[in-house]
A and B are shown apart, each in its own frame.
Chain A
Amino acid sequence: MGFAIDFAQTLWSTSLDVAPIVVILVLFQVAVLRRSLPNLRRIVGGFVCVLIGLALFLIGLQDALFPIGETMARQLTTPEATGVAGREAAWTDYWLVYAFAAAIGFATTIAEPSLIAVALKAEEVSGNAINAWGLRLAVAVGAALGVSLGCFRIVTGTPLPWYIIAVYLVVIVQTFRSGRAIVPLAYDSGGVTTSTVTVPVVAALGLGLAASVPGRNPLIDGFGMIAFAAVFPIMTVLGYSMAVEWLGKRRRGRENGAPPVDAARETMQQRRNVEP
Chain B
Amino acid sequence: MRNLLVLFGGRIVAALRDLAPIVAVIAFFQIVVLQQPFPNLAEVLGGLLCVVAGLALFIQGLESGLFPLGEAIAQAFARKGSASALFAFAFCLGFGTTVAEPALIAVAAEAAEVASEAGAIGDDAEARSSYAFNLRMVVAVSVGVAIVLGVLRILKGWPIHRLIIGGYVLVTVMTVFAPDEIVGVAYDSGGVTTSTITVPLVTALGVGLATAIKGRNPMLDGFGLIAFASLTPIVFVLAYGTLGGWV
Contact = CB atoms under 8 A, between A and B. Distances in A.
Interface stretch (A217-225, A242-250, A253-261, A267-275): A217-225
A49 B60 CA distance: 7
B73 A29 contact: yes
A138 B193 CA distance: 22
A107 B25 contact: yes
Nearest to B221: A184
B152 interface: no
A224 B180 CA distance: 12
A223 B111 contact: yes
B22 A53 contact: no
B50 A180 contact: no
A68 B44 contact: yes
B107 A46 contact: no
B77 to A, nearest CB: 8
A194 B181 contact: no
A81 B36 CA distance: 10
A75 B34 contact: yes
A25 B22 contact: no
A29 B65 CA distance: 14
A204 B164 CA distance: 29
Given A29-B73, A43-B65, A56-B57, A196 B184 contact: no
A207 B165 contact: no
A103 interface: yes
B106 A58 contact: yes
Contacts of B69: 25, 29, 37-38, 43
A130 B219 CA distance: 14
A35 B77 CA distance: 13
B115 interface: yes
Interface residues of B, number: 105
Given A61-B106, A63-B50, A220-B184, A199 B191 contact: yes
Contacts of B161: 175-176, 183
B20 interface: yes
Given A42-B64, A207-B110, A227-B188, A63 B100 contact: no
A46 B47 contact: no
A194 B102 contact: no
Contacts of A114: 199
B18 interface: yes
A46 B72 CA distance: 16
Given A53-B57, A194-B191, A230-B190, A64 B47 contact: yes
A149 interface: no
Contact of B106 (A35, A55, A200): A200
B44 A64 contact: yes
B223 interface: yes
Contacts of B38: 71
Nearest to B21: A107
Given A45-B65, A75-B36, A108-B21, A165 B175 contact: yes
A57 B55 contact: yes
Which of B59, B97, B197, B226 counts the most A-chain CB atoms under 10 A from its CB? B226
Interface string B153-192: 0000000110011001001100100001101110110111
27 contacts: A17-B105, A33-B76, A33-B81, A42-B65, A45-B64, A49-B61, A56-B57, A57-B58, A58-B54, A60-B49, A67-B43, A81-B34, A107-B25, A108-B21, A165-B171, A184-B219, A187-B164, A187-B226, A190-B230, A191-B226, A195-B103, A196-B196, A197-B22, A199-B106, A200-B110, A222-B114, A223-B184
Interface of B: 14, 17-22, 24-26, 28-29, 33-34, 36, 38-40, 43-66, 68-70, 72-73, 76-77, 81, 85, 89, 92-93, 95-97, 99-100, 102-103, 105-107, 110-111, 114-115, 117-118, 120, 160-161, 164-165, 168, 171-172, 175, 180-181, 183-185, 187-188, 190-197, 199, 219-221, 223-227, 229-230
Nearest 8 Cβ contacts at the A-B interface: A46-B65, A64-B47, A223-B184, A49-B61, A63-B47, A56-B54, A53-B57, A53-B58
